[in-house]
Structure 1
């Protein structure tokens, strides 16, 4: 399942905005990235998608379920009503045995509308197709108990990892439909992910050998012993497929990290191996914890909703992530889109970012720049360096504006052949900037070249 396009009318600062999402004929990737200054409307677009999709999720769970509504404060100033329209396509629902089938049969469109209080308007919500698509999935679950469901999830900028609550206070079922629990709510804190992991691992250990026990056997008898080899084989054969999917996803995104697990000594905690050392997850940096929880939560939901797939990470769905680069080191930002596409190949991603590294290091990504309620598609970003993206896409200087002005003046003096003024400017900048400053090094070479010409 994927979103083909959506339309906002009088929502937030958008009067009439139509957006097509990747994949398209021109952009075959499954990733759309939105960039723009703070206040440009990136979050409004993601929230609008989440509102529309919430009606599908609600009606998959119960026939007459209600999704989220457009808040009155999100109706554009001066407008009587606001509406969000969405077109969703699920190619798996097309009839492959009928070559004359209309491809539009796999397209579902619905509209959510909000009228301002005290205003009269003809605008009304139209949710027939949301119900029709939900009925298709409900019918599949009726016939096939473990039929796959599409993941639909929204991760807002408020997401955080404030605690790792391994003591489960409330008993959870973690059934297939529970993959939709809190999937579109704002302020996701990933508590449920950690509770789910603990419960699944408890079940895994009951039918096999725990990681703690295997580690103790290794220390006592060594990994060459027959007992360790036998227990290792037993553990491998009893691995929980859902936990395996989560561990695989985290290892793919976080090189050097492996074997996420729950340990009970010296006290109950979640541990992970990093660079040969075992760490309590609470010891990780905020960026590491955020990445682990985000990727782990996507993988967890896919595993729950695709229990019959050999590789649950290949389930399909729609994932919305606001400020995807939040807390991440530039090295991780650079590979983020590629890893998302490779680890979750059948998920469609709609992302927002402030990082030039995110949008310049992935091929075939559809990138939109938002500015004052308008949307502009930007091509040819793949392979650009960060400075080029900052200048051409994000309209931001690559360095301090005053330093840049003085460097520009130095270059102008050199081009004009004014050696004395160039030396003066160079001397002043050399006192303020580091010895290894690249632009100063270039200027020094030009000054030397000009001196040789004069000589």
Structure 2
């Protein structure tokens, strides 16, 4: 599964826009209100009907997604919905190369058209009951993710019988709760204990739990991963050789562990026949809004490379404001939104955060007030108004101590005071 191009018509803030995506990582960047979340929801909307065709719950494209248009009528102005809403996707999803989702004023029902849609549905349904046949992962992680466990019991997990298609459960809000992850993880832990009791063979530990922890270690090299502690009756995470209950982790730690673990769980559910290669070979699309949420700047710099390393065949479509995230990606991996159009910046990878703020995001490196006061100071020095310059320098030091420009200004001022010009 992949998305090559998306055409949005009358969808939320977009009147008519095209966006191209590359197979690997795609980071959507823009100011608040530029359309980042709307673009991600457009991606979700064009795949929702594909999943809905096999009975997986999906939220429909709704009237609230239809773009508002300002209409002048005589001396009055009013807002009206602009129909039809149309999402046109090009890429690959089983037999599909292009498909459409639309919403008309007359019906207010979502229409879906694609070549071979019956083949798509039959393929998924038949694959679900089979031991082979590759399935793509698809999940949307929205910005309001909190990742709290639900205290699932081992008794409940032991009674659960997961299907391969359970990997698509809660796909539209994959971080809404961790109950599905917790149930599956505890069940796999019980399976491991059972196999060890039967065989006594330590090599049996190469299983889904091992692969999930390998994904977590891509994000947090200092972590040994996550486990279910039978005595504590809860999920424990080992970071720097210290085991901590999952819910007691910081928001940033919990977010990193849960994101990588949940993606890996969905992949392991979908393609168990791939064995140890399941994380590297499974393809699909993962959508993540506010990729950097709750993360320290150091982790913001590493999260995109870690996702690419852990899941090399996945297409990621994410949004972020973080210069650290932007600086970890190549220009072709960054989609810069401006007036609802997308373009690639000239340079990103390896730039420091200040350069990215100014050159990519159009944000001054420092507060405009301080920048203006520095300009005034050096202009006064240039005009040899030395007493005024000394006063400006002293005032600026009180307002913003320890600016690196002070050393140069002091040296220039002293030289001019000595030589008189």
> Following the alignment from structure 2 to structure 1, what is the Cα–Cα distance between the partners of residues 25 and 20?
12
Count of aligned pairs: 405
> Following the alignment from structure 1 to structure 2, what is the Cα–Cα distance between the partners of residues 149 and 302?
9
User: For residues 279-299 of structure 1, what are the alpha-carbon distances to aligned partners after superposition, in whole Å with 9 as ceiling and x for unaligned?
Assistant: 222221011101111111011
Q: Alignment partner for residue 103 of structure 2, among 95, 101, 114?
A: 114
Partner of 1:175: 163
Partner of 2:189: 201
> Following the alignment from structure 1 to structure 2, what is the Cα–Cα distance between the partners of residues 449 and 117?
79
> Following the alignment from structure 1 to structure 2, what is the Cα–Cα distance between the partners of residues 259 and 373?
40
Q: CA RMSD in A?
A: 2.8
Using a 3 Å threshold, how does the CA distance of structure 1 residues 439 and 191 change in structure 2: closer, same or farther? Answer: farther
Using a 3 Å threshold, how does the CA distance of structure 1 residues 188 and 128 change in structure 2: closer, same or farther? Answer: farther
- Displacement of 1:107 in angstroms is 5.4
Q: Give 3-state SS (helix, strand or coil) of 1:208's partner.
A: helix
Q: Alignment partner for residue 81 of structure 1, among 84, 91, 96?
A: 84
Partner of 1:248: 214
The unaligned stretches of length 5 or more in structure 1 are 24-29, 94-105, 210-229
Using a 3 Å threshold, how does the CA distance of structure 1 residues 251 and 453 change in structure 2: closer, same or farther? Answer: farther
Report matched runs for 1:68-217 at 5 Å.
68-78=59-69, 79-89=82-92, 108-116=97-105, 125-138=112-125, 145-167=131-153, 169=156, 171-185=159-173, 188-208=176-196
Query: Is the deviation greater in 273-282 or in 312-321?
Result: 273-282
- Displacement of 1:193 in angstroms is 1.3
User: For residues 371-420 of structure 1, what are the alpha-carbon distances to aligned partners after superposition, in whole Å with 9 as ceiling and x for unaligned?
Assistant: 33333332322222211221232222322222222122223333444433
> Following the alignment from structure 1 to structure 2, what is the Cα–Cα distance between the partners of residues 425 and 434?
13
Partner of 1:346: 313
Structure number having the greater strand percentage: 2
Using a 3 Å threshold, how does the CA distance of structure 1 residues 451 and 277 change in structure 2: closer, same or farther? Answer: farther
Using a 3 Å threshold, how does the CA distance of structure 1 residues 56 and 428 change in structure 2: closer, same or farther? Answer: same
Q: Does 1:355 align with 2:322?
A: yes
Indicate conservation of the 8 Å contact 2:331/2:344, yes or no. Answer: no
> Following the alignment from structure 2 to structure 1, what is the Cα–Cα distance between the partners of residues 225 and 97?
41
Q: Alignment partner for residue 52 of structure 1, among 46, 51, 58?
A: 46
Indicate conservation of the 8 Å contact 1:56/1:131, yes or no. Answer: no
Using a 3 Å threshold, how does the CA distance of structure 1 residues 136 and 418 change in structure 2: closer, same or farther? Answer: farther
Partner of 1:306: 271
Report matched runs for 1:281-296 at 5 Å.
281-296=246-261
The unaligned stretches of length 5 or more in structure 2 are 70-81
> Following the alignment from structure 2 to structure 1, what is the Cα–Cα distance between the partners of residues 117 and 20?
19
Indicate conservation of the 8 Å contact 2:128/2:165, yes or no. Answer: no
Using a 3 Å threshold, how does the CA distance of structure 1 residues 331 and 108 change in structure 2: closer, same or farther? Answer: same
Query: Is the deviation greater in 316-325 or in 163-172?
Result: 163-172
> Following the alignment from structure 2 to structure 1, what is the Cα–Cα distance between the partners of residues 393 and 119?
70
Q: Alignment partner for residue 43 of structure 1, among 28, 37, 47?
A: 37
Indicate conservation of the 8 Å contact 1:369/1:375, yes or no. Answer: yes
> Following the alignment from structure 2 to structure 1, what is the Cα–Cα distance between the partners of residues 161 and 299?
34
> Following the alignment from structure 2 to structure 1, what is the Cα–Cα distance between the partners of residues 3 and 186?
34
Using a 3 Å threshold, how does the CA distance of structure 1 residues 421 and 56 change in structure 2: closer, same or farther? Answer: same
> Following the alignment from structure 1 to structure 2, what is the Cα–Cα distance between the partners of residues 152 and 352?
17
User: For residues 166-188 of structure 1, what are the alpha-carbon distances to aligned partners after superposition, in whole Å with 9 as ceiling and x for unaligned?
Assistant: 32657432222111111123762
TM-score by length of 1: 0.81
> Following the alignment from structure 1 to structure 2, what is the Cα–Cα distance between the partners of residues 416 and 194?
70
Indicate conservation of the 8 Å contact 1:55/1:130, yes or no. Answer: no
Using a 3 Å threshold, how does the CA distance of structure 1 residues 198 and 365 change in structure 2: closer, same or farther? Answer: farther
Q: Give 3-state SS (helix, strand or coil) of 2:3's partner.
A: strand
Report matched runs for 1:323-338 at 5 Å.
323-338=290-305
Partner of 2:370: 403
Partner of 2:345: 378
TM-score by length of 2: 0.87
> Following the alignment from structure 1 to structure 2, what is the Cα–Cα distance between the partners of residues 427 and 367?
43
> Following the alignment from structure 2 to structure 1, what is the Cα–Cα distance between the partners of residues 363 and 62?
33
Q: Give 3-state SS (helix, strand or coil) of 1:375's partner.
A: strand
> Following the alignment from structure 1 to structure 2, what is the Cα–Cα distance between the partners of residues 186 and 179?
10
- Displacement of 1:164 in angstroms is 4.3
